[in-house]
Chains A and B, each alone.
Chain A
Amino acid sequence: AQTVTQSQPEMSVQEAETVTLSCTYDTSESDYYLFWYKQPPSRQMILVIRQEAYKQQNATENRFSVNFQKAAKSFSLKISDSQLGDAAMYFCAYKGRGAQKLVFGQGTRLTINP
Chain B
Amino acid sequence: DSGVTQTPKHLITATGQRVTLRCSPRSGDLSVYWYQQSLDQGLQFLIQYYNGEERAKGNILERFSAQQFPDLHSELNLSSLELGDSALYFCASSVGVAGGSGEQFFGPGTRLTVL
Binding site for B on A (CB under 8 A): 33, 35, 37, 42-47, 50, 52, 91, 95, 97-107
Contact = CB atoms under 8 A, between A and B. Distances in A.
A100 B103 contact: no
Contact of A107 (B42, B99, B108): B42
Interface of B: 2, 31, 33, 35, 42-45, 48, 55-56, 58, 88, 90, 92, 97-99, 101-106, 108-109, 111
Contacts, number: 62
B98 A99 contact: yes
B2 to A, nearest CB: 8
A98 B43 CA distance: 20
Chain A interface main SS type:
loop
B48 A100 contact: yes
Contacts of A35: 102-103
10 contacts: A33-B102, A44-B2, A91-B43, A95-B99, A101-B48, A102-B92, A102-B104, A103-B45, A104-B44, A107-B43
